[in-house]
Amino acid sequence: MLTIRRSAERGHADHGWLKSFHSFSFADYFDPAHMGVGNLRVINEDRIAPGTGFGTHGHRDMEIVSYVLDGELAHRDSMGNGAPGGANAGVIRPGDVQRMSAGTGVRHSEFNHAKDQTTHFLQVWILPRSTGVRPAYEQKHFDASSRRGRLRTVVSPDGRDGSVSINADAVIHAGLFDGPESVVQALDTQRLAYAHVARGEIEVNGQRLVSGDAALLDGEAQLTLANGRAAEVLVFDLAR
């Protein structure tokens, strides 16, 4: 079964400095019909105004993935990432994938230091496979050529193919598609697949989706992405 979630149906919040679209119930947006898909709990499409950001706040027992579309995002946390001399600079840009395992508890901030450019990114939350783990952080870059006309694994439980590792039963693929570029990928019918169009437009199993749209594939044997127009797509392989 293929179920379409249109961009205009998502929750929306405008805080001035932050404009956000919520694919699933989040903060002041609550819809009991859209609480998540399998172990995927949050996809927020955020736009942060220049010189602003999220102040220091806490998380625990959640896998948080950030995927930047435009601009850059400076991350700083209680593990030392983003701090002078820290293990990781903590700044992510287009092509970067960042994963923070909140585990027993972590505090962090996210900021757009640019003076004249909005940061546009996706924030993803996935339920962890194991709770109470030591907090951890990882970021990697995946250049456009590695995602062009194919689904590149960017997040996985075992860090396969050079992907970012995650403490969750979930895999995330990213792809760029334009014109004749297409892909067919077999799906495990015992799991769930969720295709989110980050920008552009593309056909998902014959259905035309545009930026912000998504498709849930439940019991489908394959995923076909075709006839894209400057499309950037994230595909989630999820536990039920």
CA angle (135 as vertex; 68, 45 as ends), nearest 5: 25
pLDDT, tens digit, for every residue of 141-153?
A: 999 999 999 999 9
- Token readout for 220 is 């489908």
Question: What distances in angstroms separate CA 160 from CA 17, 108, 171, 189, 231, one per listed residue?
Answer: 37, 27, 10, 21, 25
User: Could you read off the pLDDT of 57-85 as tens digits, one per residue?
Assistant: 999 999 999 999 999 999 998 998 887 77
C-beta of residue 211 within 8 angstroms of C-beta of residue 10: no
pTM: 0.96
Q: Is 44 helix (H, G, I), strand (E, B) or coil?
A: strand
Count of structural domains within the chain = 1
Beta 164-165 vs 152-156: how paired, if at all?
A: parallel
3-class DSSP state of 8: helix
Q: Residues 6 or more apart from 138 whose CB is under 8 A from it?
A: 98, 99, 164, 165
**Containing structural domain, residue 66:** 2-238
Helix segments in 46-147, DSSP class H: 144-147
**pLDDT tens-digit readout, 2-47:** 999 999 999 999 999 999 999 999 999 999 999 999 999 999 999 9
Q: How far is CA 67 from the centre of its chain?
A: 5
Rounded to whole angstroms, how far apart are CA atoms 208 and 42?
23
Please, how many CA atoms are within 13 Å of residue 50, restricted to the half-sphere of its CB? 4
Q: How confident is the model at residue 88 (pLDDT cuts 50, 70, 90)?
A: confident
CATH of residue 221's domain is 2.60.120.10
**Residue 133 CA: distances (Å) to CA of 59, 101, 123, 129, 166:** 13, 8, 21, 10, 12
Residue-wise pLDDT tens digits, 167-190: 999 999 999 999 999 999 999 999
